[in-house]
Amino acid sequence: MRRALVIARKEATSFFRSWSGTLIFAFFFLIAGIFFSLLLLSYAKLSFEASKTAYQGLEGIGLTRFVFGSFFLNFSMVLIFLVPILSMRTFSEERKTRTLELLFTYPLSDFDIVWGKFLGLVWIMEALLLPTLVYLGLIHWMGLTFDWGPVLMGYLGFWLLANAYLSLGLFVSSLTDSQVTSAMISFACLMVFWMFEWVAGVADGTVGQVFVALSPLSRYRNFTLGILDLSDIVYFCFFHFFFLFLTMRSVETRNWKG
Amino acid sequence: MVDERRTDEAIEAEAPIMVQVQNISKDFGSVHALDHVSFQIRQGEILGLLGPNGAGKTTAMRILTGYFPPSRGDVWLKGERLFANPNVVKRMIGYLPEEVSLYSDMKVREYLGFVAEIKKVSRRRRKPHIDDYLTRCGLWDVKNRLINQLSKGFRQRVGLAQALIGDPEVLVLDEPTSGLDPKQIIEIRSLIRELGKERTVVLSTHILPEVNMVCDRVLIINEGRVVASGTTDELEAGLKDRHEIFVTIGDRKMKDKAVELLASISGVERVRLVEEKVDQVSFALSATHGADPRSSVSRIFVEHQIPILEIRAGRLSLEEIFMKIVVSEKDSQNYL
């Protein structure tokens, strides 16, 4: 397991050292800022209009729900674009540059390599997420009060969703030595998962229920609403392990594919 | 160059067996990349794997380094089964893959640090250990440079250094000199010879003279099978029928007489004219096995006052041995 940490550290460092890494980092921070600003402005506008018309309904929604709830829900869309770009490097790039061959001859198990790479991605995602706390601080500094509970729940949900997407991206990356192909396929898969909720909206009965149960987005929605359901956490854990397991199998194919 | 090879075969024969490859086969679908290959390497030996492209050299090396297990058969390192406990046994092996590819966004020292950590070099030993190999591989001056800024020769050195980190007892080098310029080739070869003094080295190559220069023993692989193995001398001795002697005389007018005299010497089967110039004529004699007519040639020519410029026993070059083995291999397959 300690070897996995060495790999993870290497993955994360080389990401932040690259130009694309710095760029992604900046963009993520910027887009999160724009999301927050727009949501705050529309909240301000709404509450101003509500005070004019003496409308009382807005209190039930509140800042936490309105700004943070919408933020996390909408911002998850960014993951569909971001994750393929992050994960395409892991195996595809190393296959292309043939550094993977050497990695397999080091005293490491496949488990170390797969987990190390996954952990590296998780760390990168966490590092991207961390600066968004600045916006929280800003909102707090502006004198607006919000509930920490649902906000933390939002972060937890976002983290779980991001990890789930990353595990899928990691698996796709292990299938091909082309980064572009890897990104495209990951993107397509994430889109399909994203559309599961729509299917649930169209199909009735059991089919609809199955799609809701399998949809990462409807699981994630609970977190943005501040609802902590054990089954959602179990779902995401299963999602991670399933794709990491597939990645392990995919890495093993070198034994018979060469 | 031949002198540089170690000839202390007596010691080598007694050295413990380091690598034992037992009857390994590797199939990729219906393709048999390796077919019942067996060989062993003693401690301190430099073994050259020779073969045409696609013969299975890289597959053999990948199995040896634990990249993937063989379909059948087994590899033993120092008496331990490689694939029974790969994470422990793999620490005994350092690997330099073909077209060495390294994490080009890392600095040399940082990269070696990463490798040292993976190879479980203890934290305390890490710094002196890395420093040692930086110096020995001639990388000290570039230790803080990014790997992608280095020349191919230096990158090859980094590749060697990463293989050496963790002090593996067996080095596996896949075409270590390919793509380098002549000066770099000479440097890398001497580095390999130097390293081979304390370690067991397996190297693959398609450059035949390299085997003569660097290796103690050769293993020729063709179409996934071992077709010959031994020292170059042994391989040559195995091809007895090719024993030839070259004679050059300095007088063209004596040509016919010389042919007549040469043919009369016992042990000479056939005389062939090789080259005729204004001031010299060369012949090739096929000698029967075991006979060495060189002294008779010089004696008779002196008696008849024919000026001798050169007499030498023609050695088969490794190219000839290689071609002969690989080609006859093909023939026998075609006709059987």
- What confidence tens digit (pLDDT) does each residue in B138-147 have? 899 999 999 9
Q: By the CB < 8 Å criterion, does B66 face chain A?
A: yes
Q: Do B103 and A14 touch (CB under 8 A)?
A: yes
Q: What residues of chain A lie within 8 A of the CB of B67, using their CB?
A: 101, 104-105, 254
Best residue of A3, A9, A106, A109 to probe chain B, by most B CBs closer than 10 Å: A106
What mean pLDDT is reported for chain B?
83
Residue A29 falls inside a structural domain: yes
| The CA-based dihedral angle spanning residues A161, A165, A167, A169, taken in that order and rounded to the nearest 10 degrees | -170
Identify the pLDDT of residue B111: 94
Domains of chain B (ranges, CATH numbers): 2-238 (3.40.50.300), 241-314 (3.30.70.3190)
Q: Do B95 and A105 touch (CB under 8 A)?
A: yes
- What confidence tens digit (pLDDT) does each residue in B139-197 have? 999 999 999 899 888 898 899 999 999 999 999 998 888 778 888 888 888 888 888 88
Per mean pLDDT, which range of A135-144, A189-198, B324-333 is the poorest?
B324-333
Residue A103 falls inside a structural domain: yes
Residue B133 binned pLDDT confidence (cut-offs 50, 70, 90): very high
- Cα dist from A78 to A156, A186, A239, B103, B230, whole Å: 16, 14, 19, 29, 63
- Cα dist from A80 to A119, A156, A164, A204, B178, whole Å: 19, 18, 11, 27, 43
Q: How far apart are CA A170 and CA A182, in angstroms?
A: 9
- Cα dist from B323 to A61, B39, B123, B318, B331, whole Å: 85, 21, 50, 8, 12
SS3 category, B80? strand
Per mean pLDDT, which range of A84-93, B5-14, B44-53 is the poorest?
B5-14
Identify the pLDDT of residue B257: 86
Q: How far apart are CA B151 and CA B144, in angstroms?
A: 14
Q: By the CB < 8 Å criterion, does A20 face chain B?
A: no
| The CA-based dihedral angle spanning residues A169, A174, A178, A179, taken in that order and rounded to the nearest 10 degrees | 30
Residue A55 falls inside a structural domain: no
What mean pLDDT is reported for chain A?
89
Q: Does B213 score more than 70 pLDDT?
A: yes
How close B330 comes to chain A (CA, Å)?
25
Q: Does A186 score more than 60 pLDDT?
A: yes
Q: What residues of chain A lie within 8 A of the CB of B104, using their CB?
A: 97
Structure tokens at A254: 């070198």
Residue A251 falls inside a structural domain: yes
Indicate the pTM of the whole model. 0.81
Identify the pLDDT of residue B208: 74
Helix runs in chain B, H state only: 9-14, 57-64, 86-89, 108-118, 123-136, 152-164, 182-195, 208-214, 232-238, 255-264, 294-303, 318-335
Per mean pLDDT, which range of A24-28, A77-81, B228-232 is the poorest?
B228-232
Q: Do A6 and B118 touch (CB under 8 A)?
A: yes
Residue A227 falls inside a structural domain: yes
- Mutual angle of helices B152-164 and B123-136, in 10-degree steps: 140
Q: Do B69 and A255 touch (CB under 8 A)?
A: yes
- What confidence tens digit (pLDDT) does each residue in A82-95 have? 999 999 989 999 98
Identify the pLDDT of residue B238: 63
Best residue of B28, B82, B103, B107 to probe chain A, by most A CBs closer than 10 Å: B103
Percent of residues, chain A, with pLDDT higher than 70? 97
Higher-pLDDT residue of A19 and B272 is A19
Residue A62 falls inside a structural domain: no
Question: DSSP characters for B31-71?
Answer: EEEEEEEEEEEETT-EEEEE--TTSSHHHHHHHHTTSS--S
- What confidence tens digit (pLDDT) does each residue in B17-46 have? 889 999 999 998 888 889 889 998 988 889
Residue A54 binned pLDDT confidence (cut-offs 50, 70, 90): low
Higher-pLDDT residue of B305 and A171 is A171
Identify the pLDDT of residue B239: 60
Percent of residues, chain B, with pLDDT higher than 70? 86
Among chain A residues, the shortest Cα distance to B87 is held by A107
Identify the pLDDT of residue B6: 47
Q: What residues of chain B lie within 8 A of the CB of A102, using their CB?
A: 95, 97, 101-102, 162
Identify the pLDDT of residue B181: 83
Q: CB atoms < 10 A from the CB of A58, how many? A: 15
User: How many structural domains is chain A composed of?
Assistant: 1
Residue A189 falls inside a structural domain: yes
Identify the pLDDT of residue A25: 93
Question: DSSP characters for chain A?
Answer: -HHHHHHHHHHHHHHHHSHHHHHHHHHHHHHHHHHHHHHHHHHHHHHHHHHHTT--THHHHHHIIIIIIHHHHHHHHHHHHHHHHHHTIIIIIHHHTTHHHHHHHSS--HHHHHHHHHHHHHHHHHHHHGGGHHHHHHHHHTT----HHHHHHHHHHHHHHHHHHHHHHHHHHHH-S-HHHHHHHHHHHHHHHHHHHHHHHHS-HHHHHHHHHH-HHHHHHHHHTT---HHHHHHHHHHHHHHHHHHHHHHHTHHHH-
Residue A86 falls inside a structural domain: yes
Domain that residue A156 falls in? 2-34+77-257
Comparing CA positions, the residue from A87, A170, A89, A96 lying closest to residue B101 is A96
- What confidence tens digit (pLDDT) does each residue in A131-167 have? 998 888 888 888 777 788 888 999 999 999 999 999 9
Higher-pLDDT residue of A23 and B214 is A23
Q: Does B336 score more than 60 pLDDT?
A: no
Best residue of B63, B102, B117, B119 to probe chain A, by most A CBs closer than 10 Å: B117
